[in-house]
Structure 1
Amino acid sequence: MSALKLVSTRSLSRDEWLQWRYKGIGSSDAAAAIGKSPYTSPLALWLEKTGKKPPKDLSQKDAVRWGTLLEPLIAQAYAEQTGKKVRRVNAILQHPEHPYLLANLDRIIEGGGILEIKTAGLRSQGFWEGGVPEHYRIQVLHQLLVTGKSWAEVAVLIGGQEFRTYRIEPEGGELSELLQAEQAFWRHVTEDIAPETDGSESSGKALQWLYPRSTATLVDYTDHGAMNQLFRELIQARAKRKASEVHEAILEQRMKESLGDAEGALFLQGKVLWKSSKDSQTLDAQRLIQDHPDWIAPYWITKPGSRRFTVQVQEGD
């Protein structure tokens, strides 16, 4: 089985490329689709794939720009270090049996493998110590699933100077499990049914985007068993969090009391710092408003209100 070439990318504009990506799950979407992305939740990805919300334009972010600029150099370094020839694939590839599974490959390795190219900052170095980070591994497994190839290598440049390579081969039923999980996500897209929230910041932002304004209505769940159970669990979770926060605050305050004027302390497992920050200047906006209201009048803008979630517990519950 080999992938189909859906469309050439040689002359595609960014907008055209995005339109093609709406048609399926790309390799960079795979981790988000199955709930394994540290950045994007299934709900946020669903909003994009159903066309409800445009995807973020990351092309001008420094990390993305430098990654694009360094990609050919890293590919060249990989070829020189390994002696393996690599070539571009200027096309969006499509799974022959599951047309919603798409992939863009950085390079093909002569001999039948895929080369995925990454750049990472020094702060991300630790994530690579145990191998390829999970969400990147899923990205590569998705590429293997689409193309039918049996192995891939990841070439990463860390901190602009440390070059590493990692080999990825599917283990056990990894590809079939990935296929099932992606099929489940795509059903949410085709049936226009939102996937469950997952507690992530991305999921919270997606909900805020879906329901930005409230209406003056109260839903009566007093006779709804499942929702009342959910409410009880929420109350319990908040109580545990509050107790944990209080305990942490007590420990922190005792530590500060012990430090006194010292800016920090060393311990067997690390250190704490309680340093003074530099003095800074700030605008006394309230005084400016009081003394010169006519000056600032042209600069007032209306900021849309946001929705705030609160929990009120009845006495005796």
Structure 2
Amino acid sequence: MSAGIPFVKVDVTPDTPAWEAERRLSVGASEVAAVMGLSAYGVTPLDVYRQKMGVDRPFDPVLAWIGHQSEPIIEAWLREFSGLDLDIQPGFMARSVDHPYLHASFDRVNAGPFFPIQMKTAHQYAGHHWDEGIPTDIRVQVQAEMAVSGTPRALVVVWIGGREFRHFWEPRDDRFITNHLLPAVQMFWDGNVRAKVEPPPSTLAEVNAIPTEEAEIELSGEAFDTLERITVLNSDIQAQEAERDALKVALGQYVGAADTLTFEGRKVATWRQQKGRVGLDTKALREAHPDIVREFTTQGAPFRVLRRTKTKEQK
């Protein structure tokens, strides 16, 4: 690359082993929202860390295929119907020179002036997420792309429900990039990936996946307050469920066998009897056909159960 360009082009073909290997060498723009705890799809910093360590998060290959196959159609719409004066060129992977822990894979780029073009698809029932502009996680991704490309703006195009197209200009936010994005990514890269230290869990599923050991830990005042709050919430839930059930009994005594409830002449609810759930007598099946039970029994993922110690056990 010529002098003054803030990135180096990485010559790899998307979705190949070489491309995947390059992605493990830095944080991608599409991963930055997850690193910052802003993913709209439940991707966590721990997911990104494990990907860098060679353990990929399960993904839907059909959705990935749809995304790639949609790009030529979105490009054609930009050329023929957007009304924008563009010089669209193929995208590529680029790694930042000043911040080599950050890379971006541009869907397309505009040649003159140079800026990245980000292409997205959305289901028709998810189109409302774009009503107020670019969703937060995608804005973070595009800001990361501009941090790599050095451009003052980027173009985002979304194809909604297979028939509606929208485009948005996203201006570069240097304050966000400098004060938030880059420090968060560098801290993750140096403090977690390079140091091989897992980020702390950020979902209950990740907490449940931590194998326990027979050991004690002294709680801080803040941690003990958290435990107390959990206990209170559990009690509130139990009390609310008991109150709900008592109210249902009272209402049931009033309505009797009626299955439709009205108020001031209008229908407000239905309360109909349904068939009971179909169950399996596993005990009887195990006694009658133990081999079948062994063949088709699966072990669920382990999880942790939090139980408060009774007062007499604390002494």
* TM-score normalized by the length of structure 1: 0.79
Shift of 1:43: 2.5
Deviations 1:202-249 (A, max 9, x none): xx334444x3x434x23152xx5x2x5403322223313541564377
- Residue of structure 2 equivalent to 1:96: 97
Q: Pick closer, same or farther for the CA change 1:195–1:99 going to 2, 3 Å.
A: same
After TM superposition, the structure 1 = structure 2 runs for residues 265-280 of structure 1, keeping only pairs within 5 Å, are none
- Residue of structure 1 equivalent to 2:172: 170
* TM-score normalized by the length of structure 2: 0.79
Deviations 1:257-298 (A, max 9, x none): 3895446889xxxx87767667876655544334x3256266
Shift of 1:146: 0.5
- Residue of structure 2 equivalent to 1:315: 311
Q: Pick closer, same or farther for the CA change 1:254–1:207 going to 2, 3 Å.
A: closer
- Residue of structure 1 equivalent to 2:236: 243
**Amino acid across the alignment from 2:285:** L
- Residue of structure 1 equivalent to 2:72: 72
Deviations 1:144-193 (A, max 9, x none): 00010111111111111111111101236122121122112212222233
Aligned alpha-carbon RMSD (Å)? 3.3
**Rg larger in structure:** 2
Gaps of 5+ in 1: none
Contact in 2 for aligned 1:44/1:206 (Cα 8 Å): no
Picking from 212, 215, 218, the partner of 1:214 is: 212
Between 1:236-245 and 1:276-285, the stretch displaced more is 276-285
Is 2:193 the counterpart of 1:195? no
SS of match in other structure, 2:304:
coil
**Amino acid across the alignment from 2:286:** I
After TM superposition, the structure 1 = structure 2 runs for residues 1-317 of structure 1, keeping only pairs within 5 Å, are 1-10=4-13, 14-38=16-40, 39-49=42-52, 51=53, 54-58=55-59, 60=61, 62-80=62-80, 81-83=82-84, 84-89=86-91, 91-110=92-111, 111-171=113-173, 173-177=175-179, 178-188=181-191, 189-198=193-202, 200=203, 204-209=204-209, 211=210, 213-215=211-213, 217-221=214-218, 226=220, 229-240=222-233, 242-243=235-236, 246-247=239-240, 250=243, 254=247, 257=251, 261-262=258-259, 284-290=281-287, 292-293=288-289, 296=292, 299=295, 301=297, 303=299, 306-315=302-311
C-alpha separation in 2, matches of 1:64 and 1:276 = 43
Between 1:102-111 and 1:77-86, the stretch displaced more is 77-86
Shift of 1:96: 1.0
Shift of 1:66: 1.4
C-alpha separation in 2, matches of 1:253 and 1:148 = 63
**Amino acid across the alignment from 2:44:** S
Give the number of aligned pairs. Answer: 297
Contact in 2 for aligned 1:34/1:185 (Cα 8 Å): no
Q: Pick closer, same or farther for the CA change 1:171–1:4 going to 2, 3 Å.
A: closer
C-alpha separation in 2, matches of 1:239 and 1:165 = 48
